[in-house]
Structure 1
Amino acid sequence: MKLNLYFVQEDLPELRFEGTPVDPPTVARCRIAQFVDELPGHLDEGVMYVVRASTLALHPPKSTKTSFLCLGSAPKAWKDAALNLLHSEADVEPVDVMNAVIRLFDRYRVWEEDLHALVDQHMPIDMLGARSVGIFGNPVIAQDVSYRPFFYALPSPGEETEAFRIYREEVYGQHVGEGGLSVPRKTAMAFNQNSDFAKLENAEDPVLFTGDTWSKLSVHSLSFRSLLYNCRVNGTLLARVIVDDIVRPFRKKDYVLVKVLGDCLTRGLQTAGIGDAGQSTRFVRICQSLLSGETVSDGRIAAVMEKLGWHDSDRFFCIVLRERKLDRKFSAIARVAIAVTAHDDSRQHCFFDGRALIVCDLSAGTHTRDEVIADVLRNVRDLGTIVSFSSSFFGFGNLAHFYRQALVVERVGRIEDVSSEAYRFEDYVVDYLIARCEEGSTVDAIVPDGVQKLIELDKERGTRDAHLLKTFLDNDRNIAKTVREFYIHRNTLLYRLEKIKETLGSDLDDPDVRLSVQIALRALRVSADAPYGE
């Protein structure tokens, strides 16, 4: 493991090294320490040179990346130069300094090797936290980008302070339940809406978050700082490691330590097959394959569905988000996708072609399509995003059809109302049909949810309400003619039509609704001799 001079300054205070290295705390270059009687002509920036002040030249080298531990008072030119230099006038033998520094390197080398061994042996991710919490002496959290923890490791302070007690109860306690680690929705939303915290997602190096989010959530107005490191794969944010300074103040070496832990966490998540935002990489890949028009085998789909606890034959629907300004990075739609899918295993998301796609398994979840839509709309409000909703469909393999359906709905919807931020399929059925009339599509893609539900109820009950509705509309809603064709009483027809309207959830007085239902029923080829009941 590579260290910097801050480790020596903070871990070996008895050596009384003074000075301020030119490198920031986030930079660690030194892989070994070496004592030299005289500096070599070629300096290796990976070496921490331990040298007597009496052997130094009057003027320092031009290299500003090399690190020096000077025993004695360094020449003035060295102290004034922009160097990675610490000097000590303590009465200590060089051999004692070297032994202490070597033990320091060994301690952190063993820690890093242990972390990598845990990953290589496919041990549980939370063991990374258990092995690291003693190194930091503060709570250590690893979470996905939806704030859901992979692990939450608490230290065991020798003397528990009141602040730590409150932290354990209010902060740690919120994340731990009978079902394991989670994050309260209120907490996730508070951070999701914090613009200062959102800016930190772009940071490549460890950064300090000093916002007041937790103090606002805390009953006791608990305040602390967090050191945060973003874990990325190919530039995509995968997870983050956070250290909270509730037990002891941060040290400069913590900036290097949190990065080492974060890089090991990234390896561990990739090894476990966890991709973007805690999503299964297999789910993301299969979505991208389907949306790209690639042929995907039923077996491959079934394997991904089984992993998620879904079934290929379940009822799904798509939500597609994009930024209103096309030249803007899609951080806002990512935040919405993460917030909507964070606490519900029946929802998954991925990114494709500059958009966020949320796939909802209505059969596996406990919420209706309308409830999911309401949840999304709460999250997109005033974020400058555009969202479109497909109709529901059966069979995950049909995903690409309904993704394209949502895109068409957005396009035709914006022609009618460019100021809107949300477009639903059921509001633009006729426009969608017109837009797609020259394109091939599956039959289900033009069937409104209410019609699908009506047909499902017919199958369950052995009724013919779908055919009754088709006949009624084909007869221009003529009651007498429909009664004669179905051989039923007028009151029976009126009663059944009211029930059909309730199932459809649509107003048949609207000519666009009538047209969309008629087209859907014709496309589905409702059989004239299907069974029905009174």
Structure 2
Amino acid sequence: MDYDIKKLSDELRLYDHQLYVSYENDNLFKAPKLLEEDMQSFDPNTLYVGNASTLIKVLPVKCPANILVIPDIDIGTNDLNKFNVNLIVLNKNENLMKVFNEVYKIITSQYEFVPLWEAMLKSFVNSKGVQDIIDIGYELLGNPISLGDVNGILVAYKASAELLSELGWDVWVEKGKVPYDSLDYIKFKRNFSMINESDSPIHIKETGKYEAITGKVVIDNNIEGYLTVIGAKKPFKEYDIDLVSLLCSVVSSELQKHKAFYKTNGTMLSFMITDLLDGKIKDDKRLEKMAKLLGLKLRGNLYVLTISLKQKNPELGYVNYLLDFFENTMIGAKSILYDDCIVILISNSKGNPLSDETMNHLIEFMIKNDICGGLSRCFHDLIDMPYFYKQSLKAIELGMQRSSEEVFFTYEDNAIYHLLSSCSKQEDLEMICHPSLSMLIEYDKYNGTNYTHTLHTYLLNKGNLTDSANALHIHRTTMVYRYQKIQSLMEIDLHNMNTMLHLYLSFIILRFINKLDYNTLACLEQINKLFS
């Protein structure tokens, strides 16, 4: 069955809706397309599907259009007939991609590619990434497909091994950037203006072995890349241009959904870091070439600072606000939005990754915005970034367990707790503690003494009696008496380094498992110095 706006309204039984017809036409829908806020022209043979918040940015339109609207915000319906638009308005908010998928099945039910298109939408909804969408697009179209950014840098591709060399893509894949003397680039350059000016993909029918269809990927009115399909395996079908157009739209929406490209030196840099964190890049030579192509200049010492955002799927404006701050505060840092966190790659020549002034500025900002961050240890090879990203996440996790009031945590300060956390899965940590320490704590409680505090201070000062006495503001003779008394009560030798290490670790364990009596240990805040 062929569908116009009225027939589609009759068929759309799953959703309660209202139909507003502003003009009559005989145009039949070929396929739906996602409504984007930067659209300026519309195809009368296309049904556009989008949220009401997007519609109000598009209206008024310059030409007739057919739009299905999901009311994610309230819109007045009284004046809708005034616009040159036929509208189907759902009566309640629904998931955009779920509705799009249903409409697509209705309109294209006679097409053989519906199952694959559903798989691509599922990939989009489940955030499997651009490469997964390109893989499904390859099955959908049955021909080699590539996605490159505006600088000719390869973002994703799918082609059989035997065609890579024939198409000249083997060099593109190896070097990461399209050779300027390649047939693809020559064809593309020849049709550059036509592709940029067209609202839909262009069918390039030049003399040569294969035809091509090329469409642009547009984000916020900016062309960010180009998607090209080469008719190398089978001839193009009549509706392939529509499929490429839909594919460009889904890729664009995927990029906007992840927002990984914002505030970086281009889309490809963000994809490189995202793929690296996803474990998709494991060849350090390939990574080195990509970094060089992108002009990524890193100094010797690298760190990962991860900012944990409490809200899931944060708003773009909020993300950009945060990215602006972090990149302006840490000059030269590269940041992306990844898995609802802001991941920042810091590089410097020597010394600490953050000055005291920068650190204080960051902490003040994080407190103000109710976010927290974790800093990894130093590393020197970019290929190791995934491991140190996990370190930064572990610093946040363990730091928050220790103190919910702090907002900035380093893995260096939490490494011992990571060790204990790993051990606790196999052992009862309290059993590892020195048995006489609990006896000393109980003795202090019963007798009103403070030998536990004294012992802690002694360990804190690395067994130096004079420094311990000064820290406790007591005479050295008093410190010596307490020292001897502790040895007598616990029946231990505090000259023994193994004993000191065991006691040192015991204090940390008791704090980790929340068994340390905070009232007994009067100066508990000094425990943090144990890890410095």
- Give the TM-score range, shorter chain: 0.3 to 0.5
Please report the TM-score for the alignment, with normalisation by the length of structure 1: 0.33
Please report the TM-score for the alignment, with normalisation by the length of structure 2: 0.33
Higher RCO by CA contacts (8 Å cutoff, separation 6 or greater): 1
